[in-house]
Amino acid sequence: MKLRQITGDQLCAAVPDALRKSLVTDGRYGGRDASTPAATDQEKRASCSWSNSKMTLSDGRIGYRKLSVSVQARNSETQGAAEYAKSQFDRDKEAHERRVNVKDGNRTDGRTSGSAFGELKSLDHGDASYLQTSIGHSGMSADVFVLQGPWLIKVGYGGDNRTGTKYPTGDEVREAADKVSAAIVAEMAKDGGAAKPTGPCAVLTVKQVESAFFPSAQGPSVGGADGRIKQTSCSWTVKEEVEHKPGEKFTSRGGTLTIHVVDWGGGSTGSTFQFDRDAKKYDRYRAQGGIGNQITHTTYEPRKELTGLGEKAFAVISATTRPDKPEQPATQEVLVKVLSGDRTIELVFRGTTSGGGLVAGPGYQEPAFEPTAAQSAVTELAKTFLAGLK
């Protein structure tokens, strides 16, 4: 089944603004997160959430509230998307039924602490849907689960109160989750059309990433937070395709390119302060022989100042090993950090840049990380990215 395109921003926009603000208000302690993992022909996923940790409620109380929405669909090797969604929905529903430990307002598990889950309540959204209310570490919440064609939809709403009664009412969270679910179901019934990344993640094209490294690249996956400090993350998977016959052993060079943009704003703890603090951090890590524990240990090469990128920039190359598995090769990466106005931009490539191919082929080499090549590729992409960033 051909799956429509969907992004986290589209999900956010599907919830009417007036409805959303009645559930989670904007403010100093509020923010929005939107995420769009890299889409393929086989799988589409997206999510959006809003939260406010010190929200003024209608009766003057102060409370924490969070609203979250996620959708996913996939074609598996043995099932079409609609069939896969139906079987997953049924499995999830059985699991949610098993965790019910509150009936008629009383706990049935004999415990006086721990999360409490209410009975499932059928709804009329999509092809099938139900709601479950719970009380746990995050307060009172209601989750709605919807099966709609190939899509699995989840909407959650809830929180707790800082003043007055400890929790919002069950009716309050259930009604809110139900209303938002109706809006999301209506959005997912539409033809999605072409969904393209916006903002910083739209600056680089897949071809530009491939040109800096090698074919083929997929992405970007997109994540963002619109709180007091705005952040955007974009990542591309870069992996060389190796032509091979069934049964032939091969390896591929490649890795992940990630770009993280932070809008710090002005003030004494703004972008310049954050940039300089990170520079000192990597110098300190280098001087103390790296950081880590018994599971992982990361060492750092000397930090290199870069010119021609923003107001200031530096590059750091690191290697991460597993002390408990000394036979495993180190995972290496290059980080380029740039100060540009009120922003810091961080570009990281982790993976390998050379080798790979048919293991039995002439001159075969294991995939390896070449520091000079990796830093050159990331630096060139940094220049392109900064030139297109608005």
Q: Quick one: pLDDT band at residue 219, thresholds 50, 70, 90?
A: confident
Say what the pLDDT of residue 385 is: 96
Question: CA dihedral defined by 209, 236, 234, 13, rounded to 10 degrees?
Answer: 110
Say what the pLDDT of residue 384 is: 96
User: Per-residue pLDDT tens for 16-33?
Assistant: 999 999 999 998 899 999
Average of per-residue pLDDT across 24-46: 87
The residue among 9 and 303 whose pLDDT is bigger is: 303
Say what the pLDDT of residue 112 is: 83
Average of per-residue pLDDT across 45-49: 94
Say what the pLDDT of residue 229 is: 86
Average of per-residue pLDDT across 35-40: 81
User: Per-residue pLDDT tens for 78-134?
Assistant: 889 999 999 999 999 999 999 999 998 889 998 888 999 999 999 999 999 999 999
- The rounded percent of the chain whose pLDDT value lies above 70 is 98
The residue among 222 and 271 whose pLDDT is bigger is: 271
Asked if residue 39 lies in contact with residue 72, where contact means CB atoms within 8 angstroms, the answer is no
Q: Quick one: pLDDT band at residue 7, thresholds 50, 70, 90?
A: confident
Looking at every residue in the chain, the average pLDDT score rounds to 92
Beta-carbon contacts of residue 250 (< 8 Å; ≥ 6 apart):
242, 244, 356, 357, 358, 359
**Lookup: tokens for 114:** 């721990």
Q: Which of these ranges, 82-91, 219-228, 373-382, has the smallest mean pLDDT?
A: 219-228
User: Per-residue pLDDT tens for 130-161?
Assistant: 999 999 998 999 999 999 999 999 999 999 99
Say what the pLDDT of residue 126 is: 95
Say what the pLDDT of residue 93 is: 98
Average of per-residue pLDDT across 68-72: 97
Residue 194, pLDDT > 60, answer no
Instruction: Give residue 100's Cα distance to chain centre.
Output: 30
Structural domains in the chain, CATH included, are: 8-188 (3.40.1000), 199-388 (3.40.1000)
The residue among 78 and 319 whose pLDDT is bigger is: 319
| Size of the chain in residues | 390
Q: What is the DSSP string of 338-369?
A: EEETTEEEEEEEEE--B--EETTSTT----B-
3-state secondary structure of 97: helix
Q: Quick one: pLDDT band at residue 196, thresholds 50, 70, 90?
A: low
User: Per-residue pLDDT tens for 241-250?
Assistant: 899 999 999 9
